[in-house]
Copies of this chain bind each other. A is one copy, B any other.
C-alpha cells in the first residue's frame, strides 16, 4: 500500500492512489490526504495517518528522523525556551540495578544525533493548546486539524477551549502532523506497541509504529517495560508522524527494579520530565487509584487488571498512604503545562471481566478522575479520561454517559470495551463490537486490542489486524454520529461495487492488499477484475448484474415512477385490488 502501487489504466490515466496535501493559509500548513484515483475519472480524498513514509517525493531516513514540521510554529510563539535538560543516565535504559542481560543491543542503537535541546514554557508558562484556545488564539496546529477534519478553525478552537477536545502536541515533538481528539471530530484509534522483558528490539518497535500508522493508527502508545526504554522511545519519537503516549509509571518501576513499594514521587517526577523533554505527547497517569478504593476490588472476580492500577494499589497498601500521584497532582499539572503534555487520566480500576463491569470500584475512581480533570483544567493542561475494559453491551452506555457528566465532557478514551470474556484469540472482535458502540455514543478515541490480548505480544500481523478492526469501529461510529463527509467513502465504494469496478473497490478498501488477494484466490485472472460478475454467484447469474440490467432497460421509467408517480400509482394499484399494476408495460 504505497503510492507506487498506482497503476496505469487502459486510457493511460493513473489509477490507484497517491499521497497529496491540502495547503492552508500559509505554505507550511500542508495537510496530508490519501487521494484515490478511480477508473471513472473521479477522485476520493481520505484521511491519512501514514506520515511522509508514503510520500514518494520525500526521502526518509530512520537514523535522521522526520523533519520538524512544527518547529517554526513553536519558536514563533515565543513562549518557550531551550535549556540544557536533564542529563540522560544509564538507568533510564534500565542499566543500573542488574547486570545488563544483553544491555543495549549495540551502542549504535543510541539515537544518532539528537537534533535539538529540549524546550519548555518560559518561566513555567502554560504553553498548551488549551491555554491558547482559551485566549481566543487559533494556532497553526488548530488550523491544520481544521483542514484535516473539514471543519472551521473556530470550531476546533472552541472545542479545545471548552475541554471537549485535546490536540496532543508536546513542544519537544515537532515532527508530528497535528490531529485532534474530541467527540465532534472523527473517532480516533490508538495502537499500543512496546517491548517487554521477554522479547522484542528497538528496530522492531520503530517498525511497529510506522506499520500501525500506515494502516490508520492516529496515535501510538509506547508501553515498553523492558530494557532500553529511553533509547527505544527516542527512536520512536524522532520517527513518528503521530502523537506518542506513554505510561511513565512503567519506566519509573524499571528504575526501582520492579519493586512497587520503592517508588517515590521524586523518581516518578524525574521520569515524567525525562519523557516530556523527549517529546511524549500524552501520558497516562493513574492518579485516581486511591487507597480507600483498593478494598472495593477485593471481592472482584479479576481484581485489578490495569498494570498502572495494580502498581499504585500495591504502593498505597505497602505504605498505608494515599497515592503519591494524587498527593502531588498539582505539581504534576505544572510540569505537563510547561511542555504541553496532555493528561490521559488512567482507569486503574477498570473491570477485567464481565462480572466486574460498572462496579463501585470502577465508578468511585471515575468520580476522582472528574475531580482531577477540574484541577488539570485550572492549570490549562489538556486532559482526556481513560475508560474500560470488559463491559457487556447493556452496560456500555452508562460508562460514556457517566464519564461525560462527571468529567465535563472531556474526551473519553476507551480500551474496547470487550463485550464477552469467552473468546481469547479473538478479542479484537469482542472489543471491536463494544468500541463501535461506545464511539457512536461519544467516545473520542479507541485504544485498539489485538488478537493476542490476554495471550501474548502482538506481532506485525496482529498490529495490522488490531488497527483495521478499530478503524472499522471508528468509521462505523462516524457514520452513526452523522459526521459530515463520513458516508462519502462508503458511497464511493458501494458505487464501485455496483458498477463492478473491482480495482476501485480494492483501492478504496480499508485494506486494499487483502481485498485484492481474497478476490484473486477465487478468480485470479486479470479479466476477472473487469468482469461483470463476482465469484459468489459466478458468471451465469449475479444479483448485481440483473439489478443493473433492470436499471439499464427500465431505469428511465422506473426513476420517473419512483420520483413522481409512485405514490399515485400505488394508490391506483390498491384500488384495483392489488393485482394488475404494471409500472413498466405501457
A interface residues, Cβ below 8 angstroms from B: 196-199, 225-226, 253, 258, 260, 291-292, 294-299, 301-307, 309-311, 313-314, 317, 320, 322, 352-355, 390, 392-394, 419-426, 428-430, 432-433, 436-437, 440, 451-452, 454-457, 459, 468-469, 471-473, 475-477, 479-482, 487, 489-491, 493-495, 497-498, 505-506, 508-511, 514-515, 517-519, 521-523, 534-544, 546-551, 553-555, 557-559, 561-563, 566, 569-570, 573, 578-585
> Which residues does chain B contribute within 8 Å of A433, judged by CB atoms?
432-433, 436-437, 472-473, 476
Report yes or no: A541 in contact with B258, Cβ–Cβ below 8 A: yes
Q: Is the CB of B535 within 8 A of A292?
A: no
Residues on B with beta carbons closer than 8 Å to the beta carbon of A515: 424-425, 455
The answer to whether A307 and B537 have CB atoms under 8 Å apart is: yes
Is the CB–CB distance between B420 and A258 below 8 Å?
Answer: no
| Given A433-B433, A433-B472: A456 and B521 interface contact (C-beta under 8 Å) | yes
**Cβ contact of A547, chosen from B303, B497, B543, B553, cutoff 8 A:** B303
A392 cross-chain contacts in B, Cβ below 8 A = 476, 479-480
Contact among B320, B451, B538 for A584, CB-based, below 8 A: B320
The answer to whether A491 and B562 touch across the interface, beta carbons within 8 angstroms, is no
A–B complex contacts, Cβ < 8 Å, 18 sampled: A225-B537, A225-B541, A258-B541, A292-B570, A298-B550, A304-B547, A305-B544, A307-B541, A320-B582, A390-B494, A393-B437, A393-B479, A421-B494, A422-B508, A423-B510, A425-B511, A437-B437, A456-B535
A419 touches B546 (CB 8 A): no
- Contact indicator A535/B196 (Cβ below 8 Å): yes
Q: Is the interface of A mostly helix, strand, loop or mixed?
A: helix
Contact assessment for B570 and A199 in the assembled complex, using a CB-CB cutoff below 8 Å: no
Contact of A422 with B547 in the complex, beta carbons under 8 Å: no
Q: Is the CB of A314 within 8 A of B546?
A: yes
**Which residues of B have CB within 8 Å of A554?**
298, 317
Chain B residues near A535 (CB-CB < 8 A) = 196, 198-199, 455-457
Residue among B296, B322, B559 making CB contact with A298, cutoff 8 Å: B559
Which B residues touch A428, using CB under 8 A? Answer: 429
A123 to B549, CA, bound (A): 45
Partner of A292, one of B420, B469, B475, B569: B569
Given A225-B537, A296-B566, A437-B437, verify A425-B310 contact (CB < 8 Å): no
Q: Known: A543-B309, A558-B298. Contact between A303 and B437, CB under 8 A?
A: no
What residues on B are CB-neighbors of A489 within 8 Å?
422
Give chain B residues whose Cβ lies under 8 Å from the Cβ of A297: 547, 550, 558
B536 touches A353 (CB 8 A): no
Contact A304–B558 (Cβ < 8 Å): no
Residues of B within 8 A of A519 (CB): 455-456
Q: Which B residues touch A493, using CB under 8 A?
A: 421-422, 424
B583 and A292 form a contact (CB under 8 A) = yes
Q: Within the complex, which residue of B322, B425, B497, B553 is in contact with A454, where a contact is CB–CB below 8 Å? A: B497
Least CB distance from A197 to B in Å reads 4
Shortest beta-carbon distance, A487 to chain B, in Å?
Answer: 6
| Closest B residue by C-beta to A511 | B425
Using Cβ atoms and an 8 Å threshold, which residues of chain B touch A523? 198, 456
In-complex Cβ contact of A514 among B258, B425, B477 (8 A)? B425
Which residues of B sit under 8 angstroms from A436, Cβ to Cβ? 393, 419, 433
Cβ B291 vs Cβ A225 within 8 A: no
Contacts of A477 in B (CB 8 A): 393
Contact B421 A197 (CB under 8 A): no
Q: Are B313 and A550 in contact (CB under 8 A)?
A: yes
CA gap between A393 and B432 in the complex, in Å: 13
Whether A196 touches B538, Cβ cut-off 8 Å, given contacts A297-B547, A420-B476, is yes
Q: How far is the CB of A345 from chain B (nearest CB, A)?
A: 18
